[in-house]
Amino acid sequence: MEFDPERLTPAERYKLLIGCIVPRPIAVVSTLSPHGEANLAPFSFFAGVGSDPMALLFCPANRADGGEKDTLANAKPADEGGTGEFVVNVATEAIATRVAGAAEPLPYGRSEFELVGLTPVPARVVRPPRVLESPACFECRTLRVVRLNPGVPTGGNVVVGRVVHVHVRDDAINERLHIDADRLAAFGRMGGSWYCTTRERFEMPMGAGALALDPASILPPRA
């Protein structure tokens, strides 16, 4: 099938994006309102940007009424009315249901931490708390917000953050900064209401060296 996005509804475009861009890592984003109330929400339109400066991005779409989601209202820069800070906590198997639960749209100022039973603990550098139960957390200062469709229902936004501190639980990393994927046990989002683990992995070199390999010999067997 071929698709012209202009002839699709936003809901249809969304289905194509979330079904084809898989698996997506999940950022569990903690923020504080300018009044100091904690907020927590998952975002799977999420990626690293680069290592110099160390930066990442996530994409909180506008609400159905065109307004900003609480996370965006809190994380946008101070000169736009936010706090300019957020923490990305890695979503892991042990807290999977609580991560999905944090997507519950609570009234502005009510904390999803309490609703889902995750524990806010002080971050090192920024004011929003990190999630105690997450083994890896990136404390960020907001570099900029790119608004693709301001005020329009489901309009897209990109929040780019500079990482100012990283926490990794000691048992999930070694002295060479290699992360133990089994200890991290991150999970990701697929299409619809499907998710995946990171337990099936395979290794190959980058570039021409990969071309010499038979995919069947390196990929895990299909169920």
Ligand X SMILES: Cc1cc2nc3c(=O)[nH]c(=O)nc-3n(C[C@H](O)[C@H](O)[C@H](O)COP(=O)(O)O)c2cc1C
Angular region, 81: left φ>0, alpha ψ -120 to 50, beta rest:
left
CA angle 164, 166, 167 (to 5 degrees): 145
Comparing CB distances to ligand X, the nearer of 39 and 134 is: 39
CA-atom Rg of the chain in angstroms: 19
Interface pattern 14-33 for ligand X (x via CB under 6 A): ------------x-------
The answer to whether 128 contacts ligand X (rule: CB under 6 A) is no
How many CB atoms neighbour CB 70 within 10 A? 24
Nearer to ligand X, 60 or 135 (CB): 60
Question: And the tokens for 75?
Answer: 């994380």
Counting residues that bind ligand X (by CB under 6 A) gives: 17
Contact with ligand X (CB under 6 A): which of 25, 30, 32, 41?
41
Nearest distance in Å: CB 18, ligand X: 9
Give least dist CB 183 to ligand X, A. 21
Task: Return the residues of window 56-115 that contact ligand X according to CB under 6 A.
Answer: 59-61, 69-71, 100, 103, 105
Whole-angstrom distance, CA of residue 27 vs CA of residue 45: 8
Say which residues have a Cβ less than 8 Å from residue 145's Cβ, sequence separation at least 6.
Answer: 72, 75, 76, 77, 80, 157, 158, 159, 160
Q: Rounded to the nearest whole angstrom, what is the least distance from the CB of residue 43 to ligand X in the complex?
A: 4
CB of 103 to ligand X, least distance (A): 4
Minimum CB distance to ligand X, residue 68 (Å): 8
- Residue 137 or 189: the one with the smaller Cβ distance to ligand X is 189
Check residue 39 for interaction with ligand X (CB under 6 A): yes
Maximum CA extent, the chain = 58
Which region holds residue 177: left if phi is over 0, alpha if psi is between -120 and 50, else beta? Answer: left
Would you call 203 helix, strand, or coil by DSSP? Answer: coil
The footprint of ligand X on residues 142-201 (CB under 6 A) is 189
- The smaller minimum CB distance to ligand X, of residues 103 and 210, is found at 103
For residue 34, with 0-12 CB atoms within 10 Å meaning exposed, 13-18 middle and 19 or more buried, which class applies?
A: exposed
Closer CB to ligand X, residue 27 or residue 163?
A: 27
Contacting residues toward ligand X, per CB under 6 A: 26, 39, 41-45, 59-61, 69-71, 100, 103, 105, 189
